Structure 1
Amino acid sequence: MHDYEPRPLRDQVDAIYRRDSRRVLATLIRLLGDFDRAEEALHDAFAAAVEQWRRDGVPQNPRAWLVSAGRFKAIDHLRRRARFNASLEQIAQQLELDAEEETEEYEGLEDDRLRLVFTCCHPALAADAQVALTLREVCDLRTEEIARAFLAQPATIAQRIVRAKQKIRDARIPYQVPEPTELPQRLASVLRVMYLVFNEGYAASSGESLTRGDLSAEAIRLGRQLLELLPEPEVMGLLALMLLQESRRAARTDAQGELVLLEHQDRSLWDRALIAEGRLLIGQAMASRRFGPYTLQAALAALHAEAADLPSTDWASMVELYDALLRMQPSPVVALNRSVALAMRDGPEAGLAAVDAILASGELADYHLAHATRADFCRRLGRNGEARAAYERALALTRLEPEQRFLEQRLRELD
């Protein structure tokens, strides 16, 4: 918004953008049939809103107003450009005809964002492109944020997104609800998207705030809708995992927004209703005997939720679950998390040996949590020189300000 806009209007429009822009974009993509055209229409709609709402006031249904304005702005743009490309006039005529004939009765998925998730996760797209495109278009994550989630370079992610859009356009991938027989083959990518979105909200990759509740809430909302659509064990497992992690949000930061480690969290602040819901879903997923890695991760989170404090946590079961998870889904990040459980069960030397093996492989050389974990093991063993070097490396790698302040505090404590 421009600086000269009246503050109350700017605040209202900004709030509507944060709340509804992704919903509006998803609907515009469905209506206009093109990502880039829909994004341009979205920005045009909000620009028009600033002008008209200043005069007429904010409408009763701003989302519907923005969708309508964006659609007709797109038609106007197409007509202006039709002077140079006659085919655009045909597109404009068809969009206008669709607008006149459209009804509000949609079949299948009720939310356009969930439709958009499945479109972005079309099997014709590469797996990494599916996730990157969904995070960008559905959840409005910046390219840099997606790159952090992928442990990749922003330029690489930007190229994936551009290529995915081109593929959708060139292959004429339809923006429609998958048939029930098609849903399972797209499920793995959709679950991965939701998991990454939730993680970015639960532990933001950069910025001033440790968490982004809007992203976590969006992932949980989509997870609930997906469970209604496709009640598969791994959908239950992922939703359970998100609920159990979300249950600890209030205890993860103090009143100043600073990081509070698990061992120091006030467990009375944990949301017992979310924990109960998560545990029920785990039980249902486990009973199916068709569960996968998300259900195992949820079971790990449940062990934390059931413990009165850190020492009384069932660390032996925790290590066993991590072993099962590694067999099912080998990952250096899972191995890193296992090293923490191993250190709690067998002592920091065992944890240090495990994390050193991971770092020696080179897979997590630029992952700040790997170096922070090593630093903590060294600190507990009294190896302060090594702890300092590892904390400094972690500090150089993290982009999240509360984590930076926490690591700086650890370095001061070593002094």
Structure 2
Amino acid sequence: REDSRGTWAADTVYSPAEQRLAVTELMLPGATNTFRWVPERVGNWLFHCHFSFHVSHHLILPERHSGPLLPEAQPIDHSQHRMAGLVLGLHVLANPAAKPTATTTAAPRKLRLLIQSAPNRFDKEPGMGFVLHENGAEPARDSVPPAGPTIVLRRGQPVAITVVNRLNEPAAVHWHGIELESFPDGVPGWSGTPARIMPPIAPRDSFVAEFVPPRSGTFIYHSHTNELAQIGSGMYGALLVVDSGQTLDPQIDRVILVGGAGPRFDGLVNGMREPPPLDLEVGRTYRLRLININVDWRIAFSLATDTGYARWRPVAKDGADLPPHQARLMPAYLLTGPGETNDFEFTPIEPGNLRLNITTQRTGWHVPVAVRVRKSG
């Protein structure tokens, strides 16, 4: 819960009605935030920056020795997940007086999520990504979409996702924003408890992530091993949770997923450099689910005509509904950091053409998405 926000010069403390929930928050240079968190699940957790370079293993300082290596010195195991920089480990211990988390005995829905690679996707570099397999024949091992498939789960329904690693390097999957037990959270060598730590998923091995989504909303799944390279080359996707009895309407719910485009650190929108237009109808209310999982860019979203911004209504942040006073019409502009999701309602009021501009805050890249609004009927 966000209690206050400010800069090094001043701070704004929010009233209870103004406080909102968040999982990932962009902090510009000089920014301050105060968050309140109540641990509910035992185990190991991470508090870290979501700009991948800020937690990269490349930030680990090399060891220096004035003489020969000591006999007991051991080589580094590069198969293990390593983070450095802006990362803090948290240990949550059991509290006998705490209210236990809800459990269910219902049979889980079973999915298989394949981690695969496609050669020469980015010039001579391979692309890595996810393929969802629920029924039918298994997909070819080099059939990797540029962005992961959207996984749709139901709130309160158990799920067991078998993650199969077909890469030649270790992998892991983090279910970003979802409250779940520590062990399947997806940080190899860390998630879990001292008696049971999640291992990295070795090549040709698998791992079963079991959890029960506790709330509906817009979330992300992504790699949590060698993040700069793996997320940057396509190991990410949208994770949507709907309420019981509801279905996702692709005509109303529009996912805008912004991710990486390989080692050049460009951007893709829904896995494409030139995404197709969005076709909308006058008077119909749409839910735009905006997701930024590009590894190291601040991304601005704006919906505009040639003369100015359109107006949209923010309704959710990181899968949590916004307080009523924040869910009001405003100019359609949003600046985000990696790992953020934001849901907006947009109701076109007249036919015509707009642009959903998706661009880096600093000079980098720009992907425009044409928005075509027609009369209803």
Name the TM tier (shorter chain). under 0.3
Please report the TM-score for the alignment, with normalisation by the length of structure 1.
0.24
Higher strand share: 2
Relative contact order, higher structure (CA 8 A, sep 6+): 2
Higher helix share: 1
Please report the TM-score for the alignment, with normalisation by the length of structure 2.
0.26
